[in-house]
Amino acid sequence: MSMPFGYASPEQIMRDRAEYARKGIARGRSVVVMQYADGILFVAPNPSKALHKISEIYDRIGFAAVGRYNEFESLRLAGIRYADINGYTYNRSDVTGRGLANLYAQQLGMIFTESIKSLEVEIVVAEVGEEPGRDQIYRLTFDGSVFDEQGMAVIGGQADAVGGRLKERYSEGLPLAQALDAALFALTEPGGERPAPTQLEVAILDRNREHRKFLRLTGPRLQRVLDETAPPAPPAEPAPAPAPETGPPIGPEGEIDTGSGE
């Protein structure tokens, strides 16, 4: 039986879609999501003040994404509608990060297998718990795969390199300032300069806040945290003592020895 003109096997189609999505995601700068002592920290290099990579979904749930903005923005809005409907119909506690991750996995998987073009996105859904052991961080890829991350997650084009640098600084229970310092260390290329505060998008899910846990760190609030990460200034060296004043040379007191022996 001859193959029709233009035939491609299902395996080849899936490989092509995956390669297409990876190339699109690789163009985006990485995002770091990690636990700290009081919750979950989100950090992303992002000069835009209007197009956010990091957002709130519900009371305890945050969202981060890389890739095509219009595509992950539609996913974010779908997640908000899902959370609002379920929270209103049942109970606010019924809206969980796991349920939202399952919703996104179904949508991404269906688009990847049934649509001509897969979404060029990678996302993280994070939920802060009453205690650190109940925090949840889920990473989802363009094909609907879900990964339950422990402690931290990195998405974006340089995820492997950024994740490797983050592991050098990450440990459980870091204060916010140290966690932000670790994230910025990971996001900065070796030998490069850290992004300016105006080029950063930073947010937290703070378990100690009432009701809504999501909080953006901007302006003076972000600067205060960054100041805590700055190394202390070295002590000023004491000024050198002034050299003693010297006048014109004077002769020795007493008679001068002429060397004549007289």
- Quick: pLDDT tens for 194-216: 989 999 999 999 999 998 999 99
Could you tell me which of 5, 57, 8, 34 has the C-alpha nearest to residue 214? 57
Q: Quick check: is 245 in a domain?
A: no
- The per-residue pLDDT for range 156-183, each reduced to its tens digit, is 988 999 999 999 999 999 999 999 999 9
Q: Quick check: is 244 in a domain?
A: no
Q: Quick check: is 43 in a domain?
A: yes
Listing DSSP states for 113-163 in one string gives HHSSS---EEEEEEE--SSGGG-EEEEE-TTS-EEEESSEEEESTTHHHHH
pLDDT of amino acid 46: 92
Q: Quick check: is 201 in a domain?
A: yes
**Residue ranges making up the domain that contains 150:** 10-228
Question: What tokens appear for 157 in the block?
Answer: 């084009």
Q: Quick check: is 242 in a domain?
A: no
When divided into structural domains, the chain yields a total of: 1
Per DSSP, the three-state class of 19 is helix
Q: Quick check: is 181 in a domain?
A: yes
The CATH number linked to 147 is 3.60.20.10
Q: Taking a C-beta distance cutoff of 8 angstroms, is the pair 153, 124 a contact?
A: yes
Helices 176-187 and 159-169 cross at an angle (nearest 10°) of 140
Beta bridge partners of 214: 205
Q: Quick check: is 256 in a domain?
A: no
- As a whole number of angstroms, the distance between CA 230 and CA 246 comes to 46
Q: Quick check: is 262 in a domain?
A: no
Q: Which residues of the chain have pLDDT under 50?
A: 1, 3, 256, 262
Question: What tokens appear for 213 in the block?
Answer: 């846990």
Q: Strand 136-140 vs strand 200-206: parallel, antiparallel, or unpaired? A: unpaired
